[in-house]
């Protein structure tokens, strides 16, 4: 079974949980034709356990396309909470009150465009980036502060969907490698209120859409086979070597 599958990852699952579930289904299937001990399954961009939405998986020989597909732009629906910051940038962390000021909708609309285009962004301490061979979140959880360097990312557009203090709902289109938690924290800092991410849902990866994804409760060997996309039919710039 070689190809690409779109999955709607639920909150509470890690990306590795989803990979493990799919791998187990295929390895136990009597329809499996390869004779490898471990079936190859990979994803093209992780989602945190508290995030939900579109996870693009590659199965079997299609995993060789991962380097191209991980570079695709992504779209997220985000809810940010004003007035507080979080040590992790999301609901899991320790919260600190920053301000009880309630900026008007006009201020929000004026501020968001300032975070579009090419911007410098420092990844959050609780991220999967490696620092001296260890994941940043491992260092952060042990009480150390990992030294993370700013990186250039591209925020194509930000759209305000709803504002009802303290919650701001936005949709954002970004380049691969952009950290939404850092973006939200930077917006909160600019507003002078602080902010952290309360909900995060990925709706697009490149041209792939969440509306075409399989919910985890519907995943089975038959639905996987029916939903499998042949990567060779996709308009990729260059096919990897066989």
- For residue 87, list its beta bridge partners: none
Residue-wise DSSP of 44-94: SS---TT-EEEEEEEEGGGGGGHHHHTT--EEEEEEEEETEEETTSSTTS-
- For residue 204, list its beta bridge partners: 75, 209
The catalytically annotated residue of 8, 34, 48, 212 is: 48
The Cβ-side half-sphere exposure at 184, using a 13 Å CA radius, reads 33
Cβ–Cβ under 8 Å, residues 177 and 150: no
State how far the Cα of 170 lies from the Cα of 124, in Å rounded to an integer: 20
Cβ–Cβ under 8 Å, residues 154 and 175: yes
Cβ–Cβ under 8 Å, residues 23 and 16: no
State how far the Cα of 183 lies from the Cα of 197, in Å rounded to an integer: 9
Place of tokens 């910051």: 85
Determine whether 48 is an active site residue. Answer: yes
Catalytic sites, residue numbers? 48
């Amino acid at each position: 079974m070689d190809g690409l599958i779109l999955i709607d990852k639920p909150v509470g699952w890690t990306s590795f949980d989803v990979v493990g579930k799919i791998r187990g289904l295929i390895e136990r299937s009597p329809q499996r034709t390869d004779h490898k001990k471990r079936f190859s399954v990979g994803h093209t961009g992780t989602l945190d356990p508290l995030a939900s939405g579109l996870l693009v998986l590659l199965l079997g020989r299609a995993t060789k396309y991962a380097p191209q597909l991980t570079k695709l732009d992504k779209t997220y629906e985000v809810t940010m909470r004003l007035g507080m910051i979080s040590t992790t940038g999301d609901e899991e962390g320790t919260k600190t009150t920053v301000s009880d000021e309630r900026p008007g909708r006009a201020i929000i609309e004026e501020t968001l465009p300032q975070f579009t285009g090419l911007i410098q962004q420092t990844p959050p301490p609780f991220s999967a980036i490696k620092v001296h061979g260890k994941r940043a979140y491992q260092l952060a959880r042990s009480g150390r502060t990992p030294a993370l360097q700013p990186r250039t990312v591209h925020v194509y557009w930000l759209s305000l969907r709803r504002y009802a203090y303290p919650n701001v709902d936005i949709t954002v289109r970004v380049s691969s490698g952009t950290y939404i938690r850092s973006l939200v924290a930077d917006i909160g800092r600019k507003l002078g209120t602080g902010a952290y991410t309360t909900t995060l849902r990925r709706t697009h990866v490149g041209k792939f859409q969440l509306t075409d994804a399989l919910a985890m409760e519907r995943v089975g060997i038959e639905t996987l086979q029916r939903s499998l996309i042949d990567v060779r039919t996709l308009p990729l710039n260059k096919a990897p070597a066989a």
